[in-house]
Amino acid sequence: MGEEEVSPKGHSKGLDVVRAIVENCSKRGVGFLTLFAFSSENWRRPPEEVSFLMGLFLKALEREVVKLNKNNIKLRLIGDMAGFSKDIQERVVLAEDLTKNNTGLVLTIAANYGGRWDILQATRAALANNQPINASELDEDWLSPYLSMSFAPEPDLFIRTGGEQRVSNFLLWQLAYTELYFSDVLWPDFGNEKFEEALTWYSLRQRRFGQTGDQITENHEENGK
């Protein structure tokens, strides 16, 4: 889900929406939910807003993780954690360690994250950890294990709120075949009712992955679906 420009009050209300949608996804048996909390470009926002967001992020890590653990939710964070304060970095480590053995919903928070950064850091890591390779031998399997979301399947549904119709440097590699849903509703007002509308829209989509609609229909019929 994409990030957007909202007020400090809106950010606080947005955290309530996060709680509601996480609970909804957990009850539904959704395997993975990824939220764009803070992009690498968000440092350009007014200093007072950035400071507020950092405080809110730290409080969320301190107060919400115990609840996540109690509900069998695994928390993962992706992004350049080196950009955050020592307090936040330590809380991230503690939160991931506390929930690492949980088997329910995997909740991923993208913080100080950018899709271009992700591809670049993955390339650097792949080059550092592999034997020299010819350019002609490079393929997706060579790079994919080093991407931030290598632990998860590619997203089925991307939701962008706030009337924006762009992915804003979010999961650029992973969104290649994702269904993109855009809503005019701001995130602080995007509760479970709007979330259900997005899921209903998604359920009516035909995911082709390069095939024709007839091929998809034939495959479903052959599989008895």
pLDDT of residue 218: 58
CATH code for the domain in which residue 97 is found: 3.40.1180.10
3 found inside a domain: no
Q: Which residues contact 83 (CB under 8 A, 6 or more apart)?
A: 40, 43, 112
- Let me know if residue 33 belongs to a domain: yes
Predicted TM-score (pTM) of the model is: 0.86
In a domain, 94, yes or no: yes
2 lies in some domain? no
Give residue 146's domain range. 8-222
- Integer Cα distance of 200 and 195 in angstroms: 9
Q: Is residue 118 part of a domain?
A: yes
Give the number of domains in the chain: 1
In a domain, 42, yes or no: yes
Residue 1 included in any domain: no
Beta carbons within 10 angstroms of residue 218's beta carbon:
12
Q: What is the pLDDT along the chain (225 residues), one digit of tens a residue?
A: 545 555 556 667 889 999 999 999 999 999 999 999 999 899 999 998 899 889 989 999 989 999 999 999 999 999 999 999 999 999 999 999 999 999 999 999 999 999 999 999 999 999 999 877 888 889 999 999 999 999 999 999 999 999 999 999 999 999 999 999 999 999 999 999 999 999 999 999 976 545 555 545 556 555 665
Please tell me the distance from the alpha carbon of residue 104 to that of residue 27, in angstroms, as a whole number. 10
